[in-house]
Structure 1
């Protein structure tokens, strides 16, 4: 054997050499992966047939020489084709179809928002809001990157959009090239981790099976079943991963913003505050009302929200808030009641703080409605009440809440930043709230997000046309009605006995459905008439086709590796590492290095299926599977910004002006790479950051 390597080891070297050469050749990635699988298999087959690739096996008759393709190249090729065809069929039409359907829907959601210039409005408004602070433009870019990440999940679109809009503004304001490029490239990659993330969706389609296989193998070694070993099925859903990824994504965004602020304080000339035009004299000056005490204004704005969230978490931990629909007999309230209370009070208190020149009576009426809503849930309703009885009892409190919230939203719409930020935030909250709250799975939530993005884009492009805006608003309201009916009534018409209140709910839902569909079709017509829909559909098709072509090619490559025992060899090498955390650390290091030359999609579909059954075989009490997955996702995000091959750097280089050199981009990105490593260290040492929300919120 060459250099003391056996046939399987040489075959692995040949395969990955062909893969890297194919990717670096400039061919489209999907064709490069499929081509490398065919070429490497051909080379290995010829060498195996010639007796050059073999393994030595000790047997009763002595040392036996076995070719790496013992059944011959033709038998191995037929086995690959048959398994590949079955694998593609099951992957495309079988168990993971629902998860993978979320990919085109989330891509459509992001591209629709980007093409409708909502991202540009966000950047402009955030720059005006935070630009007067030291490093304010950089902080604004981080905030907008976070919002776009939560609404698009597409790194390329986010980086390019912010590079085109924010980079020239930052350079004109006197910001250093390194800080500007670093904060734009890194903030754009938040779409890799903040849900709804394409990375999380794709990982969810893979790691659920890996966790199940790993735990089954572990249970078999212990002579038990999975249920006997764990006490529950080995299930890891994409919804759980979304919950686990939310807090790490927010923590990373806060770390970026703190770095930008610290940089501005240490080097004020490199990140100066900007001067804005004088505000319109007719507008109410909130800062002057509070004596230009920014700290007091921030405290009054964010303080109540933070206190409400902290109270929610404390009551949940003490058992006063549960995932039960209604628990009036025990004096508990549900997560749904807590969510309605939190959202309503946040809107009402923000209006009181930011628009104090108006009469407080409507807002106080809304607060009374919130209190009545909670009291009805605690003392009046119980598990035995029907949905109709709940609606009747909630009727007056809900009307009071709506009265107060309507007045609050009308007042808050006078503030530019809230008027621009609110629509995408409402969309994000609707999508993430339905997932994190256990109302639905990611794929229906993705459909809701795609429809909402289309209507939001149509409303943005119809500004000034009140009739068109009114139609879209009614359609959005109809969607809310359908969600309420679905969450509170049994809408199955196939039942033998459907009571009156469920029949009424069904007819209300049908009416709302037709209004929503009409509004969606009207929104599509608006986008078509504005010549936006064509580009949205084209880009969505391109991205989706790329993802699924890579999926098909990656499965072909994985089966080629499996044909000569490469997958089994890698897993045995990994199993030789006894400490599971050391094993995970080794895998993380390999993934980080592969991230220099491979895209995250190739890593997910090629590498994770090979190493997954080993790293997910650890005791979930010591190494929770969602923690492992989020570590991998953050690692893949880090590889996006690591020189010299970080894809986000290439995206930014393509839209940066000639005055910004590649060296400027590389110098600006290194501090953020260190921040990413610090974030990984935090997640490694404090798994509770990822497990907190999945443990707190109800399961899907």
Structure 2
């Protein structure tokens, strides 16, 4: 054996050297990865033919040298090509094609919002709102980063956008360079974890197969079937991962904001309050006796109470549904309706709190509708009720809700902050709500998000030119109607016998569909007219092409590793760890280190298929697959901001002013790296943070 290493170990070293050498060469990553696959295969083939790469195996009691390519490089190449043709290609582009379709759609959604200057409006508005408190600009950046992450999912675009807009403002107003750069770089990476995240979509296209393979291997070792072992199929969908990632993402954002506020309180000269507008333009503080805590209680108190009520219902099993012995058992309250009632109640109470001098009649009417709909769902509408039954019992409460929401929305839109924040928030709620509520899958939700982003961008341009936005508004209402009918009626026109209520729902859906399509086409024409659409399409094509070319290149590299048994060798090494949690720690450390030199796309498509069948073979009761996946996503996010190689740091360095040094950026992100580690430890020790939403919300 050469230098004491087996042929497989040396071959793995050759692949690693070729890969990192290609990446550091400066060539585009996709070409570097595919090139390293061919180069390393050629080098291994030459050394194999020279008799330098072999393993020692005992055959008939005699130790013999077995080449890594037992049948020669020609057979290895034919076997690799056969594997590609028979399995790998179809797995990447066949079974997962629907999931991967979400990638270009979410990218289009993010770029459309970026090009419509919505991010700039968000930052300026949030800065006015929070600037008057110490560290307010930093908190504003965290909030905007969270909103952009939930509406774009593209890390580079978020970091660059906030670096161009927020960094000069923060430095001009006396903020510390380290705090300003740290909070921008870190908040921009929330797109790694907060859905709709490209990372979660790509992970979802891989880990579902890995979980199924891992559990099948475990079942074979136990001599039972997967159904006998788990009591259910080993399925892990992208929609479930979206639900699992939401709370951890918001949790990390809260940790960032808490640190920014604490830093400002201890270093007031480095994060001073900034007056960017009139302190109380709506005279709210005077109404609440100049007590900001009273105002905050009026705004967020009802929401907190309703969320606590929701959590209690979930924990005692009074909402949602579950499968018991292949029979779906419905709780008294629908989880989807409960989520809608919480949102509607918050909007009504928010209008009450922020516009207290207005008439209370519409708000009270809306709240009465909330109560009536709650009791109607609880006592009269079962989980298996038809759409017609739901319509009968929901009609009157629904009218009261619409009446209250109409007046509440008019009052809320009078406030500049809400007027700016509401469009992206509504889009986020529509996209995530359709996924979390079980209405549709992530790919269809991505289509909704892309269409919504285009209409938002067109709406912004129409407003800038003082033109009518009614076609866009009517199209938005039509989409809402489509979502509601999709969630409550059976719209399949292929059925032989269609009930009357479903026929009415289908007719309403067809009308709404054509109105929505007209509004979307009109929005596209507006963007084409203003010469914005070409930039959106070009940038979307570039990003999407990069993702899929890297995917193909990563598959080439995986096949090279598989050709000499490298994948089997790594999996055997990982299986030597008896404790599955110890194994996961080792994998997390390796992924963290790889995150310095590889982008998340390469890691997902090169590393996860190798280690996945082992780490996802653990007992899901001990290590839920959603928990493992979100830990991996947060870990990759951490490596994205860790000096000296974090990708987010390079993005920010490229747009930072000359007076901001690289060391300023490094010093700024170190506290946030510590926060990330703390967040990872909390997620590790309290898996419920991750598993709560997937357990509470309906499956899709």
Which TM bucket (shorter chain)? over 0.9
Unpaired runs of at least 5, structure 2? 324-328
Name the residue aligned to 1:520.
520
Relative distance call for 1:86 and 1:540 in structure 2 (3 A) is farther
CA distance in 2, matches of 1:65, 1:385: 69
Name the residue aligned to 1:311.
309
What CA RMSD, in Å, does the superposition of the two structures yield over aligned residues?
1.6
Q: Residue 590 in 1 paired to residue 590 in 2?
A: yes
Name the residue aligned to 1:619.
619
Query: Is the Cα–Cα contact under 8 Å of residues 331 and 379 in structure 1 kept in the other structure?
Result: no
What is the 5 A alignment of 1:450-529?
A: 450-463=450-463, 468-529=468-529
Q: Residue 284 in 1 paired to residue 251 in 2?
A: no
Query: Is the Cα–Cα contact under 8 Å of residues 475 and 516 in structure 1 kept in the other structure?
Result: yes
Relative distance call for 1:211 and 1:630 in structure 2 (3 A) is same
Given the two structures, how large is their TM-score scaled by the length of structure 1?
0.97
C-alpha distance after superposition, 1:422-472 (max 9, x if no partner): 111111111111111111111111111111111111111111566541110
1:321 aligned counterpart, secondary structure: coil
C-alpha distance after superposition, 1:325-360 (max 9, x if no partner): 9xxx99922113212221121111001101111111
Unpaired runs of at least 5, structure 1? none
Query: Is the Cα–Cα contact under 8 Å of residues 555 and 605 in structure 1 kept in the other structure?
Result: yes
What is the 5 A alignment of 1:254-273?
A: 254-273=254-273
CA distance in 2, matches of 1:519, 1:659: 47
Relative distance call for 1:664 and 1:331 in structure 2 (3 A) is closer
Query: Is the Cα–Cα contact under 8 Å of residues 474 and 519 in structure 1 kept in the other structure?
Result: yes
C-alpha distance after superposition, 1:105-164 (max 9, x if no partner): 111111110110000000000000000010000000000000000111100000000000
Name the residue aligned to 2:650.
650
CA distance in 1, matches of 2:605, 2:315: 38
1:550 aligned counterpart, secondary structure: helix
CA distance in 2, matches of 1:521, 1:512: 14
Cα displacement (A) at 1:93: 3.9
Name the residue aligned to 2:362.
362
CA distance in 2, matches of 1:20, 1:118: 38
CA distance in 1, matches of 2:675, 2:661: 23
Query: Is the Cα–Cα contact under 8 Å of residues 322 and 330 in structure 2 kept in the other structure?
Result: no
Task: Give the counterpart of 2:292 among 288, 291, 294.
Answer: 294
Relative distance call for 1:269 and 1:404 in structure 2 (3 A) is same
2:101 aligned counterpart, secondary structure: helix
1:269 aligned counterpart, secondary structure: coil
Cα displacement (A) at 1:499: 2.8
1:358 aligned counterpart, secondary structure: coil
CA distance in 1, matches of 2:18, 2:649: 25
1:64 aligned counterpart, secondary structure: strand
Query: Is the Cα–Cα contact under 8 Å of residues 128 and 277 in structure 2 kept in the other structure?
Result: no
C-alpha distance after superposition, 1:522-578 (max 9, x if no partner): 010111112111111111111111010010000010000000010000111111111
C-alpha distance after superposition, 1:576-602 (max 9, x if no partner): 111111111011111111111111111
Name the residue aligned to 2:326.
none
Query: Is the Cα–Cα contact under 8 Å of residues 191 and 197 in structure 2 kept in the other structure?
Result: yes
Name the residue aligned to 1:27.
27
CA distance in 2, matches of 1:569, 1:682: 33
Q: Which of 352-361 and 493-502 deviates more?
A: 493-502
Name the residue aligned to 2:188.
188
Cα displacement (A) at 1:81: 2.0
Cα displacement (A) at 1:484: 1.7
Query: Is the Cα–Cα contact under 8 Å of residues 139 and 257 in structure 1 kept in the other structure?
Result: yes
CA distance in 1, matches of 2:568, 2:278: 68
Cα displacement (A) at 1:377: 2.2
Name the residue aligned to 1:413.
413
C-alpha distance after superposition, 1:168-198 (max 9, x if no partner): 0000010010000000000000000011110
CA distance in 2, matches of 1:143, 1:208: 32
C-alpha distance after superposition, 1:179-234 (max 9, x if no partner): 00000000000000011110011011111111111111111111111111111111
Query: Is the Cα–Cα contact under 8 Å of residues 320 and 335 in structure 2 kept in the other structure?
Result: yes
1:591 aligned counterpart, secondary structure: helix
CA distance in 1, matches of 2:689, 2:532: 40
Q: Which of 133-142 and 434-443 deviates more?
A: 434-443
CA distance in 2, matches of 1:175, 1:40: 49
Q: Which of 30-39 and 312-321 deviates more?
A: 312-321
Name the residue aligned to 1:143.
143
Name the residue aligned to 1:541.
541
Name the residue aligned to 1:177.
177
C-alpha distance after superposition, 1:646-669 (max 9, x if no partner): 110000000001010111111111
Q: Which of 376-385 and 523-532 deviates more?
A: 376-385
Given the two structures, how large is their TM-score scaled by the length of structure 2?
0.97
C-alpha distance after superposition, 1:470-514 (max 9, x if no partner): 110100101111112222222222222223222222111111111
Q: Which of 599-608 and 395-404 deviates more?
A: 395-404
Name the residue aligned to 1:353.
353
2:269 aligned counterpart, secondary structure: helix
CA distance in 2, matches of 1:138, 1:687: 29
